[in-house]
Structure 1
Amino acid sequence: MTIDEGDHRTLALWAADCAERVLPYFEAERPNDSRPRDGIEAARAWVRDEIGVSEARDAAFAAHAAARDVERSAAREAARAAGHAAATAHVADHAPHAGTYAVKAAAATADAAADTTAPESEREWQRRQLPKHLRPVAFGDRETD
Structure 2
Amino acid sequence: MAAETSQIVLSKQDLREVTGFAVACAETVLAVFEADRPDDVRPREAIGAAQAFARGGERGKALRDTASAALKAAKGAESEAARAAAWAAMSAAGAAYLHPLAKATQVKHILGAGAHAARAAELAAGDDRGVGADHLDRAARRATPAVVDVLRRFPAAPGGGGRVAELIRALDTALRARA
Decide: shared fold, TM above 0.5: yes
How does the TM-score come out when normalised to structure 1? 0.87
For 2:96, which of 65, 75, 89 is the aligned residue?
89
For 1:57, which of 64, 72, 78 is the aligned residue?
64
Matched residue of 2:139: which SS?
Answer: helix
2:155 corresponds to: none
For 2:131, which of 112, 118, 121 is the aligned residue?
118
2:103 corresponds to: none
Runs (4 or more) in structure 1 with deviation over 6 Å come to none
1:13 aligns with 2:20: yes
Query: Which is helix-richer, 1 or 2?
Result: 1
1:128 aligns with 2:161: no
RMSD: 2.1
1:127: Cα distance to partner? 0.6
How does the TM-score come out when normalised to structure 2? 0.72
Superposed, which structure 2 residues align to 1:32-47 within 5 Å?
32-47=39-54
- Is the Cα contact below 8 Å between 1:23 and 1:78 reproduced in 2? yes
Query: Identity of counterpart residues, as a percentage?
Result: 34
1:108 aligns with 2:115: no
Structure showing greater Rg: 2
Residue identity in the other structure for 1:105: A
For 2:37, which of 26, 30, 43 is the aligned residue?
30
1:9 and 1:28 map into 2 onto residues whose CA distance is 29
Matched length: 143
1:41: Cα distance to partner? 0.2
1:91: Cα distance to partner? 2.2
1:135: Cα distance to partner? 2.9
1:134 and 1:2 map into 2 onto residues whose CA distance is 14
Which 5+ residue runs of structure 2 have no aligned equivalent?
A: 1-7, 100-105, 152-167
Which 5+ residue runs of structure 1 have no aligned equivalent?
A: none
1:132 and 1:49 map into 2 onto residues whose CA distance is 19
